[in-house]
Structure 1
């Protein structure tokens, strides 16, 4: 039986991943900062092969507790899915340093540090790691400086990590979604750290989290290294590299509302 640890599992993509993994027979350790939201999810799955531990994913003590819980409850860890994330919608010059630090802590430091803490168990199982990045890590978007920076840092760190841990037989899948219908954008921070007060701007189609979850599991089964599920966003990232001036004009028009 595969043992899977999922962060940010109480809602959105994390919850859809939990449902899909549970349906295929995985034992699950689910974590989320939203303890009241996590409890009914655990009750819905409701069996001995599902365990939950609420807490702040940026807390190193939680990382230790999660690894220890995997060992104590299941005796192993086969798959770590770093899904928890946070974003902001605010012009760079109108965003407090605290917001930038929080986004970087959740989206970059936490997944890297949790993965490092889990490596001893993953080496034993020759398991797999998933890091949920974003196409925003590949191309600039107005009003998302902190998020773009954090997802870019995540991508670069995990691309290096893949080469290093492959020697131990550990696989690493980087996922680069575009715009999904999940609470991460509904809970976006404004520049002052309070909830953002304007709707998000988007490029391309907004996809469902269940659609994304099944693509991720299929990519894991195939031992793929990267997943670019949205062709439109992938092409936009190429435009940024091949014709940055044109990309800037198009992006600035599309995301003009972010500067209000």
Structure 2
């Protein structure tokens, strides 16, 4: 594997499992020193311990708390002296119509999925300006179009998509690139053993051009591409990583 990130320092939020874990592993495999964050310390401790000694640091952080995010970024600078890439991946979800969604759940989703991206960006941006680094946010196909019964999540991820574009405009001439990925249906540890998810997967597969759900490392590959010099003339992009889901206009397949 290419070592595109030798000498680089990368923060990956929500790195205890799924897309975040796969992304941290991919950056480490390509030579980066990686700071992993999550609200569950045991998860990121285990991932960090499985990487080469000295290459990863776990910092328990709630991405919905700006003070904790700021402290984590400062800890990164104190340990490594620089920051080159921020991956804002931490997220949560709730389902239901507006009438079904409690005020508590609304704030939980918005604070984690949207404010968390703002908090990470605000805390890290000064250091990224120094290194001419970049940000990759994890949005969703749900941030590009709407879903039934997911209004809070749609609002948060829609905000992430347009926040990405706005920050790219503001800081492109400063040498900082800002992009996002928009995953579709992705298999994770939580869904792999879930019978209901397998039934849902059959329905998704009929709507996905490639005929299957994605894997976390396939999203990680897109994230590391956007963070690399290979993407040096790309900014303000929200890249679907969805097997072709967004290629459809929603009409059913014809026989």
| Same fold, TM-score > 0.5, yes or no | yes
The residue aligned with 1:109 is 115
3-state secondary structure, aligned to 1:157: helix
Q: Any conservation in 2 of the 1:129–1:171 contact (CA below 8 Å)? A: yes
- CA distance change for structure 1 residues 185 and 164 in 2, over 3 Å: closer, same or farther? farther
- Match of residue 173, structure 2, among 159, 163, 167: 167
- Match of residue 66, structure 2, among 32, 46, 60: 60
The residue aligned with 1:89 is 95
Q: What TM-score do the two structures reach when normalised by structure 1?
A: 0.82
Shift of 1:184: 7.2
2:72 aligned with 1:37: no
2:244 aligned with 1:232: yes
The residue aligned with 1:78 is 84
The residue aligned with 2:215 is 208
Q: Any conservation in 1 of the 2:114–2:156 contact (CA below 8 Å)? A: yes
Shift of 1:131: 0.5
Looking at structure 2, the residues matched to 157 and 23 of structure 1 have their Cα atoms a distance apart, in angstroms, of 29
The residue aligned with 1:255 is none
3-state secondary structure, aligned to 1:5: strand
Shift of 1:27: 0.7
Q: Any conservation in 1 of the 2:135–2:227 contact (CA below 8 Å)? A: no
3-state secondary structure, aligned to 2:244: helix
Q: Any conservation in 2 of the 1:85–1:184 contact (CA below 8 Å)? A: no
- Match of residue 161, structure 2, among 155, 160, 163: 155
Number of residue pairs aligned between Structure 1 and Structure 2: 230
- CA distance change for structure 1 residues 128 and 143 in 2, over 3 Å: closer, same or farther? same
The worse-fitting range, judged by mean Cα deviation, of 15-24 and 198-207 is 198-207
Gapped regions of structure 2 (runs ≥ 5):
1-6
String of CA shifts for 1:28-65, please: whole Å, max 9, x gaps. Answer: 11100111211111111141131110121111111111
Q: Any conservation in 1 of the 2:165–2:179 contact (CA below 8 Å)? A: no
Gapped regions of structure 1 (runs ≥ 5):
187-197, 240-246, 251-260
The residue aligned with 1:9 is 15
The residue aligned with 1:177 is 183
